[in-house]
Amino acid sequence: MQYIQQALFIIVAGFAIWFFAKKIKELRRNILLGKDEDYTDNAPARWKNMLLLAFGQKKMFKNPLVAIMHLAIYVGFVIINLEVLEIVLDGILGTHRLFLPILGRPFYSILINSFEILALLVLLACVVFLVRRNILKLKRFISKDLNGWPRSDANIILITEIVLMSLFLLMNASDHAIQLNAGSGENGFILSSQIASSIASISPTTLHVMERSAWWLHILGIFAFLNYLTWSKHLHILLAFPNAYYARLQPAGKMINMPAIQNEVLYAMKPEMAPTESAAPPKFGARDVMDLSWRNLLDAYSCTECGRCTAACPANLTGKLLSPRKIMMDTRDRLEEVGKNINANKTFTDDGKSLLHNYISVEELRACTTCNACVEECPVSISPLEIILELRRSLVMEESNAPQEWNSMFSNVENNFAPWKFSPDERDKWAKEV
């Protein structure tokens, strides 16, 4: 029977890891569909960014209470995975609490006790977050951006974490209760021992079934959770770290200009500098996800849909259609659609759709004031603004689609080298009248 359980565990673990690796490979391919950009400069500053934003969650502490609860979930997720390592090895080797004789009882007890305390904190924090989303209904969680699957996705993750932590505590409690029945309580732990004392009267056979069931359900839940992450907004648990590392280091709000366009303006002002032959840029701005940089696509997959960007957006606050969170969600949805297209056809086949127009409307793009509030608020420095600017650049320069007010300004810049309708020769005329 033991060998059957080992074989079954190895098969399940192997399938879960293979499926996870397959999806991660697909996500990497999708991200690399974007244009190449170099983000390997200034490694010390990038490591500092990752330590402060991803590990330290610096921006989250603008709201200390929420930050502490989120930190509990985050630390619990990272540290309790050490306990998962023991479970996996127990499953493969057919052992029980493999690390106990290796680490020694005192140190092992300290570890498991810390895991149990973290499990309780994770459980409580998830309950609070469920209440905030579904009972208190904070404004950023009831936005129409989250209608449908996104709202369910958040609840599924929180409920799954509650179930996993409960199974972990039940597993330890039933194991301890078995030992109490056998006349030994040496493996008792802070929280699970309290539960064990209340279930110790249950028959040994039932306790053994409870312990094995909790063990199997816990590890199967971990494997399912691991693979669910790759389809969920909670992919940020993995991608927050590279996302923070590859964040732009330029001053906040600095826009990326196209040298080809800048040169055209220069040549208009100084024709003698214009080369005799120059190749026009193949494309201005971005119409679809492949026209964005790989960093923008990594942003899209890293977004956790928390809505802090939209809550800080002045355009959204004044009733405009723009929602920076929706910009990121739409970019990810379109990228996933392109990925499925490639899976089906081996290469991308034109489907008559694009990120611009089919997913993100002209009205949304025009509402943006480029204030950079969305980037400032994001806990891991995701930049909806970069995507908005690239799409708007395509809209204006590829489609000549701009409001009349903008066109008047563009015409003045082209003819008068300034936004105003005054000849350059008359620009200092006002001074003569002073």
- pTM as predicted: 0.86
pLDDT given for residue 186 in this prediction: 58
pLDDT given for residue 320 in this prediction: 93
Nearest to 169 by CA among 108, 210, 126: 210
pLDDT given for residue 280 in this prediction: 63
pLDDT given for residue 278 in this prediction: 62
Q: How far is residue 293 CA from its own chain's centroid?
A: 17
pLDDT given for residue 392 in this prediction: 93
User: Which CATH topology does 259-272+281-419 take?
Assistant: Fumarate Reductase Iron-sulfur Protein; Chain B, domain 2 (1.10.1060)
Cα–Cα distance measured from residue 23 to residue 16, given in angstroms and rounded to the nearest whole number: 11
Neighbours of 348 (CB within 10 A): 13
| pLDDT tens over the chain, length 434 residues | 677 888 899 999 999 999 999 999 999 999 999 999 888 888 999 999 898 888 888 888 888 888 888 888 877 777 777 778 888 888 888 888 888 888 888 888 888 888 888 888 889 999 999 998 889 888 888 888 888 888 889 899 999 989 998 998 888 888 888 877 766 655 567 888 888 878 877 888 888 899 889 999 999 999 999 899 898 988 888 898 999 999 888 877 777 777 777 777 777 777 777 776 666 667 888 999 999 999 999 999 999 998 999 999 999 999 999 999 999 999 999 999 999 999 999 999 999 999 999 999 999 999 999 999 999 999 888 999 999 999 999 998 888 888 888 888 888 887 887 888 877 777 777 777 77
pLDDT given for residue 188 in this prediction: 61
